[in-house]
Amino acid sequence: MSCDAFEKLVALDAGADLTPAEAARLGAHLEACARCRDLVRGIGESQAALKALAEDAPNEEALALWRRGLLARIDSQPPRRALGWGWAWAAAAAMALVAFLAVPRKAPPLPTPAPLARLTPAAVLPAPQPPAPVVHRRPRHRRAPAPVPGPLLVKLETSDPNVVIYWIVEGKGN
């Protein structure tokens, strides 16, 4: 099996998160593989260094001295003016923009139109023809609709499900 399959097991072993079966499998591989043994040693050294850093808590006196020095440096700097040259430049730029937009500009000249073509007698349209006569035809005889045997009920549904409209329509003979 390749070492890539054991890298995850090496990482879990560093945190003591392996099952006994996985630990035995990893131990058998480490006996035969120098590359994985170097990886285990490197991870162990890194964890030892991190634990040493965590144990070295900063000295309270050193922190207090550092804090006083920082505050002294801040107090020794001259105070900045609230409205410095940056605001003056911004105001000047805004006034220049307003002045630029307020100045009327000369409209560009309109292009000269092309000369119109002259009409010649050949370009005259022919006389209009009279419209064709309209023939009116009588509609053929239609059958009368069958009488409705009784009242007709019409149901109209609206977009509101609570509103439904019913019409009762009676036939002509009723």
pLDDT single digits (tens) 116-174: 555 555 555 667 777 777 777 776 767 766 665 667 677 778 888 888 887 777 765 54
55 vs 82, more confident: 55
pLDDT at 174: 45
Q: Domain ranges for the chain, please list them.
A: 1-79
Give this prediction's pTM.
0.33
Task: State the burial class of residue 6 (Cβ atoms within 10 Å of its Cβ: 0-12, 13-18, 19+).
Answer: buried
pLDDT-based confidence at 114, cuts 50/70/90? low
Q: Among residues 146, 141, 139, which one has the least CA distance to residue 172?
A: 146
- Read off the pLDDT of residues 7-60 as tens digits, 9 standing for 90 and up: 888 878 877 788 888 888 888 888 888 888 888 888 888 888 877 776 666 678
